[in-house]
Amino acid sequence: MAYHDTYTMELETQLLPESRAESFVRTCRPVVGDDLRSVTYFTHDRCEQIYLRSDLEADADLTGFVEHETDGFQARTAYRGSELGDYRYTVRAFDHGYLTRVTDDDKGVFVTTDGLTLRRSEELASALGELLRG
């Protein structure tokens, strides 16, 4: 699917083995519970929504979201050496929920939720980071 003049994102149906995809969802559920809306795994050029809560429509522009969330790959190096320390994760707040993004060198995951406290965002990002590195 093309959505930008110079960037193409391919929406995958099996980017991850099913057991690996399930591990991301199982990691999120204890932290955010029923507030979990969706889980999307992505690389530089592909993405796969591995979970979508049943009461939500599957009409989100995932490729548009992923285009912005791949910025996390550059953030890992852009902030290197900063007095704030290493970049860890991003939380975005919206009118109807939150998006938490965690990236590794060549892969990432973002999770959308209804509600999210600072403590839960820390727990979520930490757990997702471990899974990405594992």
Domain count, the chain: 1
CATH of the domain at 34: 3.30.450.30
Provide the token pair at 21.
């995809």
Per-residue pLDDT tens digits for 31-65: 999 999 999 999 988 889 999 999 998 877 787 88
Per-residue pLDDT tens digits for 65-99: 888 787 777 777 788 888 998 889 999 999 999 99
User: Distances from the Cα of 22 to the Cαs of 40, 70, 81, 86, 88, in angstroms?
Assistant: 12, 22, 35, 28, 23
Please tell me whether residue 55 adopts helix, strand or coil conformation: coil
**At CA 104, angle to CA 103 and CA 110, rounded to 5?**
25
Q: Could you list the residue range(s) of the whole structural domain that residue 14 is in?
A: 2-133
- The predicted structure's pLDDT at residue 95: 95
- The predicted structure's pLDDT at residue 132: 93
- The predicted structure's pLDDT at residue 9: 42
Query: pTM for the complete prediction?
Result: 0.85
